[in-house]
A and B are shown apart, each in its own frame.
Chain A
Amino acid sequence: ETGVTQSPTHLIKTRGQQVTLRCSSQSGHNTVSWYQQALGQGPQFIFQYYREEENGRGNFPPRFSGLQFPNYSSELNVNALELDDSALYLCASSRGTGGGGYTFGSGTRLTVV
């Protein structure tokens, strides 16, 4: 059984650019949640996708958007990058939308300069 995989592992972007982060969910899981973890902080919920539709969203602006594909993999897109977007972006997959005992992927470290 494969776990949650994320790509890329590290990324450096310039302020104002756009970025796409990718996540492959664990086998058998149909839900993907995305979290942002700034340095020294706990992860913050961005949004969740279930059956290819956004199922809930945290307090993030519309320039954070996502997709889920028929194979349940997912993308997180961030437009007009700001310096404060520098963080570890974590993807978690689950079977169903509730619960919360998620298994996280290894994350993507995004640095905006």
Chain B
Amino acid sequence: QKEVEQNSGPLSVPEGAIASLNCTYSDRGSQSFFWYRQYSGKSPELIMFIYSNGDKEDGRFTAQLNKASQYVSLLIRDSQPSDSATYLCAVNAGAGSYQLTFGKGTKLSVIP
């Protein structure tokens, strides 16, 4: 049973701070990792993906992957109230695999 674990939160950070969201996964063969943002009542929106160990930056977002520790994280710099949402970590087994396994999500609140 492939599992993806996230702290459910809520995680509260002040506006302008760095928000750190964490995720662990059980399938050591996993190859692709995704972060989705989901506003209340809306569908998930892809914000980042990472395939290789290390960091990947896109604007205020940085995804970090450590396959040896089976750990992936998302950093949000200069957090804004509009970042308040649930962040879903998802894992795909890789080439030819069709299924995403999602965590339950971490609810982030950015306090003005």
Compute how far the CA of A99 lies from the CA of B105 in the bound complex, rounded to whole angstroms: 21
Residues of B within 8 A of A33 (CB): 98-99
For the side of the interface on B, what is the size category? 20 to 34
Given A42-B88, A107-B43, check contact A102 B98 (CB 8 Å). Answer: no
* CB pair B43 A97 closer than 8 Å: no
Quick check: is A44 within 8 A (CB to CB) of the other chain?
yes
The docked-state distance in angstroms from the alpha carbon of A100 to that of B44 is 13
Residue ID in chain B nearest A55 by CB atoms: B98
Q: Which residues of chain A have a CB within 8 Å of any CB of chain B?
A: 31, 33, 35, 40-45, 48, 50, 55-56, 58, 88, 90, 97-107
Q: Can you show 7 pairs from A to B with CB atoms below 8 A apart?
A: A31-B98, A42-B102, A43-B44, A88-B43, A98-B94, A100-B100, A101-B32
